[in-house]
Structure 1
Amino acid sequence: MKIIVPMAGRGSRLRPHTLTVPKPLIPVAGQPIVHRLVKDIAKVLGQPIEEIAFILGDPAFFGDDVVESLKDLAAGLGAKASIYRQDQPLGTGHAIMCAKESLSGPAVIAYADTLIRADFNLDPSADAVIWVKQVDRPEAYGVVKLNANSEIMELVEKPKDFVSDLAVIGIYYFKDVGVLKQELQHVLDNNIIHGGEYQINDGIKGMMAKGKVFKTGVVEEWMDCGNKAVTVETNTRMLGFLQADGDEPMISDNIVLENSKIIEPCFIGENVILKNTTIGPNVSIGNHCTITDSTIKNSLIQTNNRIKNANLDDAMIGNYVEYDGNFKTISIGDYSVLE
């Protein structure tokens, strides 16, 4: 089995945090989004992962440190890491084809801006599986239309009239991803473009037209990381899942507590100092932070920060931030000073 991860986008909706860090490497509950996504997929697949192909953007932004972290991620799962580049933002289909040397055999394709809780029992009668989630406002999503045999017969983008309430979440399985490769090559060769981009859906529609059977997989939880508000919410939900699972350490052994308390669930990294401070619930704090005279809940704080006199709720703070103030709901990028 292979995992293909397109992750070349800049994450503009999550600025300022993505001005210095690619969105898939923003930590949620103590681990980068892409690390959590790939590990969760590998865990629920329940079979060896041969290769993980990552499609990155501009090397000036997705640099050597990013590449090394992804290689370490793959190695930790016993897989080979393949690194590809998408030099231009030409869509999901184009991104996948940037990794065409890896497009053979069974594979999961997963876009690195979402986290899931799911059962990945693969239907042996299906040529492909598209994971979906029931949503309240299907007109805001791409949805699937099913036939009487519960097979996907059509993909409809943001339908004005009701088609179904099963939204496509950006995770796919192909029994042989080489078939998708052939169809996407046809899309590229014939310049089939929607919204100025080459889309994976056109490759999937080509497969459907040739009789390939698509089934749905259903996720229990679908957690977006598209902007600051939903990323903080996703951090809260993930902390709850980790606490319930109980199989991942959440609070480091070497934190320093001085007249402070932690209200779980929280993730607290290495070498964190808390003085006269209450943390939690639903807070993630990265390594090497010092927090003084503060109360923080429902927030995501990254590494190497110095925070004091804070009363934060629904906040997101980057790396190497100096913060001293009375604001409550904030979003501060890396290397900022707010005093």
Structure 2
Amino acid sequence: MKALVLAGGSGTRLRPITHTAAKQLVPIANRPILFWALDSIAEAGIREVGMIVGHTKDEVRAAVGDGSAFGLSVTYLEQPQPLGLAHAVSVARDWLGDDDFCMYLGDNVLLGGVAPFVERFGRPGRSEDALVLLAKVDDPTRFGVAEFDTEGRLVRLVEKPSVPPSDLALVGVYFFSPAVHDAISQIRPSARGELEITDAIDALITSGRIVDALAVDGFWKDLGDPEALLAGNRFMLLGIEGSVEGTVVDSSVDGPVVVEPGAVVERTVVRGPATIGRGARIVDAYVGPFSAIGPDCELRATEIQNSIVLAGARIDGVGPLDGCIIGRSAVVERRGHLPRATSVVVGDHSRLELA
């Protein structure tokens, strides 16, 4: 079985963070979202990965390389425009050949991995041509949604329905046999101008092919918006083991906390789960639970928790901060002179909440 990983798209819901970075490379627990997906694929025993890339292809290539760091062999496949998930499969048609494959959306995280589903779909004598994973969601109108008949059989998938037939949304991990290529050739662009994977799966069902559906038990998130990104950060931090390799001076470090090599923590209280990246400097501060402080950040006289601070950011004399995403090399500081009015520079598509 091969894996097709989607790492294109523009990440509009995560702007302004994604104005300067691929959304799949935004970190949770100080690792890019995409890396968690690649770990999951490797742990399932898949070795060949086709990676769909778009306008951020150079950044993705620089981060992932040839895949050997993950125990994978990665081939890059360029999708000139983001014309839908089924279109991405058609872009990869020649590379996929006649192999079964797992399609994994690179901005999703699935706690527990995909190994059980790879084993199920790869079993000898399998009758189904597709396996879709489902999870209950609060707002099904944002997702592809499953509809079942009275006997519990999957009969239809609806993309972003205004009246959802259920609260079971498609998780961003799919399994297909080569039969999906014929199904994609039968569909037409949706009202959004995209080739929808839900339409392709529907085409499999209507042609008499068997499509299996399983509900996932563990945590799953599409990390396409700030609230989901923070939730993904929290869940991934719950799984870390404490490791202090940096320098800790006159400080209290409690719970599972990672202090990476080169980081310095002085006169600071750190409550885990939390992670502090290489080269960061934290002085006279409080770093509360579910905080991921990126490499080369500087925090002084600051109180922060439940937040993501990206590489090179500086925060001075500010707090308490809760539920924040601070971009690369951003500066957040308290003015030390009069007048004390708040002064901000806020980029496009930002959101600022003031106490």
Instruction: Give TM-score, length-normalised by structure 1.
Output: 0.85
Contact 2:269 2:286 in 1 (8 A): yes
Contact 1:318 1:332 in 2 (8 A): no
Match of 2:238 in 1: 240
- Residue 2 of structure 2 aligns to which amino acid in structure 1? K
Are residues 287 and 161 of structure 1, via their aligned partners in 2, closer, same or farther at CA, if it must alter by over 3 Å? closer
Selected match of 1:231 from 229, 232, 246:
229
- Residue 79 of structure 1 aligns to which amino acid in structure 2? L
Are residues 117 and 149 of structure 1, via their aligned partners in 2, closer, same or farther at CA, if it must alter by over 3 Å? farther
Are residues 324 and 202 of structure 1, via their aligned partners in 2, closer, same or farther at CA, if it must alter by over 3 Å? same
Match of 2:18 in 1: 18
Are residues 229 and 325 of structure 1, via their aligned partners in 2, closer, same or farther at CA, if it must alter by over 3 Å? farther
Q: Deviations over 1:279-305 (max 9, x none)?
A: 111100111112111111111001122
Contact 2:42 2:71 in 1 (8 A): no
Are residues 210 and 222 of structure 1, via their aligned partners in 2, closer, same or farther at CA, if it must alter by over 3 Å? same
Match of 1:263 in 2: 271
Are residues 331 and 91 of structure 1, via their aligned partners in 2, closer, same or farther at CA, if it must alter by over 3 Å? farther
- Residue 317 of structure 1 aligns to which amino acid in structure 2? I
Selected match of 2:311 from 282, 289, 303:
303
Match of 1:62 in 2: 57
Contact 1:228 1:331 in 2 (8 A): no
Match of 2:350 in 1: none
Selected match of 1:206 from 199, 203, 207:
203
Contact 1:282 1:299 in 2 (8 A): yes
Determine the C-alpha separation between the residues in 2 that align with 1:316 and 1:331.
Answer: 15
Contact 1:180 1:203 in 2 (8 A): yes
Determine the C-alpha separation between the residues in 1 that align with 2:147 and 2:226.
Answer: 31
Aligned residue pairs total 319
- Residue 252 of structure 1 aligns to which amino acid in structure 2? E
Are residues 229 and 135 of structure 1, via their aligned partners in 2, closer, same or farther at CA, if it must alter by over 3 Å? closer
* Cα RMSD, aligned residues only: 2.8
Match of 1:36 in 2: 36
* Structure with higher RCO (Cα < 8 A, 6+ apart): 1
Name stretches of at least 5 consecutive residues in structure 2 with no aligned partner: 243-255, 336-340, 348-355
Q: Report matched runs for 1:308-327 at 5 Å.
A: 308-311=316-319, 312-325=321-334
Determine the C-alpha separation between the residues in 2 that align with 1:181 and 1:331.
Answer: 48
- Secondary structure at the counterpart of residue 111 of structure 2: strand
- Residue 282 of structure 1 aligns to which amino acid in structure 2? F
- Secondary structure at the counterpart of residue 203 of structure 2: helix
Shift of 1:160: 5.1
Shift of 1:156: 2.2
Determine the C-alpha separation between the residues in 2 that align with 1:275 and 1:309.
Answer: 11
1:52 maps onto 2:49 in alignment: yes
Name stretches of at least 5 consecutive residues in structure 1 with no aligned partner: 334-339
Are residues 12 and 129 of structure 1, via their aligned partners in 2, closer, same or farther at CA, if it must alter by over 3 Å? same
Are residues 228 and 137 of structure 1, via their aligned partners in 2, closer, same or farther at CA, if it must alter by over 3 Å? closer
Are residues 78 and 116 of structure 1, via their aligned partners in 2, closer, same or farther at CA, if it must alter by over 3 Å? same
Match of 1:184 in 2: 184
Are residues 22 and 137 of structure 1, via their aligned partners in 2, closer, same or farther at CA, if it must alter by over 3 Å? closer
Contact 1:317 1:332 in 2 (8 A): no
